Amino acid sequence: MSTPEDLRISVVYCDPQRQFTREVQVEPGATVGDAIRLSGIRDSLPSGFEPAGIGIFGRLVQPSARLHDGDRVELYRPLKVDPKQARRKRADDQP
């Protein structure tokens, strides 16, 4: 049961085909790992998925990081191509 002191947290994951957002309420002092676990978002993700990183509003954090009300916890997927290499290839392909 939630209390007025609970923190409202969004846990998100996206890939080119879809986006998952789960809203959870956690007690003050909860961690990023707590929010991920409570959100159940892993049940919707590909089997065996391990995030390449975890962030809050684009800033990398550890699962032990403490949450603040309104935080958006983001699960990052591994990149298939290094962005620098992709830019280099596009530049080389131009006439």
Q: Residue ranges per domain, the chain?
A: 7-93
Q: Is the pTM of this model over 0.75?
A: yes
Q: What is the pLDDT along the chain (95 residues), one digit of tens a residue?
A: 567 789 999 999 998 888 999 999 999 999 999 999 999 999 988 888 889 999 999 999 999 999 999 999 999 988 777 778 878 878 888 87
Q: Are 29 and 92 in contact (CB under 8 A)?
A: no
74 Cβ contact partners less than 8 Å away, ≥ 6 residues apart: 12, 13, 54, 55, 56, 57, 58
What fold is seen in the domain 7-93? Ubiquitin-like (UB roll) (3.10.20)
